[in-house]
Each structure stands twice: as C-alpha cells, then as structure tokens.
C-alpha cells in the first residue's frame, strides 16, 4: 500500500502535472504536433491518477461482505446473482494480459451494469464511456510483493476489503 500510494500514484500525479503544463504551452502556440505527441503521457498519467483515486475509495478496512439494496438488485438483474458477478469480475481481472484493470462500470446508454477490462492506465470512462464504480488494479505492483505470480490469490483476498458503501454511492450518483 505504501509503495502503491506514495510512489506509483504520486508519480502519476507529478507526471500528469508536467504533461498538462507542456500541453498548455502547445495549445497556446497552436502546435498540434506537440499536442498529439503529449497524448500518451496525458492518457497514461491522467488515467493512472483517475484510476488510483477511485481505487483507494473502493477499498476499506471495514469492507467485504455483499452489497444491499438497489445495487444488489441491479447486480442480480444484470449478472444473475452476486456470485455470478463476483466470478465474472474475478475472471476478467485475472485474465488481463500484462498490466491493466478489471472494472465494474455503469452504461448510461443501456441503463445497466457492465464488466470491462482496460489495458495499462487507460481510464474506463475516457476509453469506453462506462462510468467507473469498482476497479481492481492488476498491475503486478499491486500485489507482487505479497502474492508473487499468483494473481488469483490476490483476487480472492481483495473481496475482503471492497467498500460496498463506496461502490453503492458511485452507482446512485450515476443512475440519476
């Protein structure tokens, strides 16, 4: 947690600020080439900042268990059962090739929950339009010191610290 927050996330924040400053200059000069050249840095560091900011709130020492109320009803409606949803998000997250994230998102278009995977730090909403509710970081830095190569064990463990309160709050906010 310490490395993840104070080193990895901090680096995304610092590098995002640097990239945005350069982008501002390029905009002022009307320099399209420079703007395009800066896109990967904005996407990578901006996505990293967005994703981790959501992630810390998705986790809690008081987490675990299962959701209730409207969120649980939506999960049952869109995945059949909480068990099915949990298995699916786990499978998608374990199956990410390389670095990336597993997500529970909300599609405003279809008015339903969806599970998706993103590569690297690609932000869910910016790349798919889905509103992010719950993210599982499966970059190796998120688990390697403790779980080594056994990503499935990390997935098993993380369900114990999911803050359904936070995921519910995010769901209620985007349902409006």
Among the residue ranges 25-33, 113-121, 127-135, 162-170, the one whose residues contact another protein (CB under 8 A):
113-121
Cβ–Cβ < 8 Å for 167, 133: yes
Among 139, 154, 164, 171, binds another protein (CB under 8 A): 139
C-alpha gyration radius of the chain:
17
Helix (H, G, I), strand (E, B) or coil at 112: strand
In sequence order, the 6+-apart residues with CB closer than 8 A to the CB of 83 are none
Using CB under 8 A as the binding rule, whether residue 1 contacts another protein is answered as no
Q: Annotated binding site for Mn(2+), which residues?
A: 4, 52, 137, 141
CB of 64 to another protein, least distance (A): 27
Applying CB under 8 A, among 120, 125, 147, 165 the residue interacting with another protein is: 120
Cβ closest to another protein, residue 12 vs residue 79: 12
Instruction: Print the binding letters for residues 40-79 with another protein: x by CB under 8 A, - otherwise.
Output: x---x-----------------------------------
The length of the chain, given as a count of residues: 176
Nearer to another protein, 67 or 102 (CB): 102
Q: Which two tokens stand for residue 119?
A: 């590569």
Residue 72 and residue 66 in contact, taking contact as beta carbons nearer than 8 Å: yes
List the strands of the sheet with 100-107, edge to edge.
112-119, 100-107, 131-137
Euclidean distance between CA atoms 107 and 69, whole angstroms = 19
By CB under 8 A, name the binding residues for another protein: 3, 7-8, 11, 40, 44, 97-100, 119-121, 139-141, 144-145, 148-149
């Amino acid at each position: 947690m310490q490395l993840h927050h104070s080193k990895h996330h901090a680096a995304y924040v610092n590098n995002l600020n640097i990239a945005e400053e350069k982008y501002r200059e390029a905009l002022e000069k009307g320099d399209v080439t420079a703007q395009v050249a800066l896109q990967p840095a904005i996407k990578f560091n901006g996505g990293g900042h967005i994703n981790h900011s959501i992630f810390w709130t998705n986790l809690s020492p008081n987490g675990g268990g299962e959701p209730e109320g409207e969120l649980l009803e939506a999960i049952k409606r869109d995945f059949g059962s909480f068990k099915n949803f949990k298995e699916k998000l786990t499978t998608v997250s374990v199956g990410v090739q390389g670095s990336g994230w597993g997500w529970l998102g909300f599609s405003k278009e279809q008015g339903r929950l969806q599970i998706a995977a993103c590569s690297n730090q690609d932000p869910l909403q910016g790349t798919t339009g889905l509103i992010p509710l719950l993210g599982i970081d499966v970059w190796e830095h998120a688990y390697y010191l403790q779980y080594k190569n056994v990503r499935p064990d990390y997935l098993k463990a993380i369900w114990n610290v999911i803050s359904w309160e936070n995921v519910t709050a995010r769901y209620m906010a985007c349902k409006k």
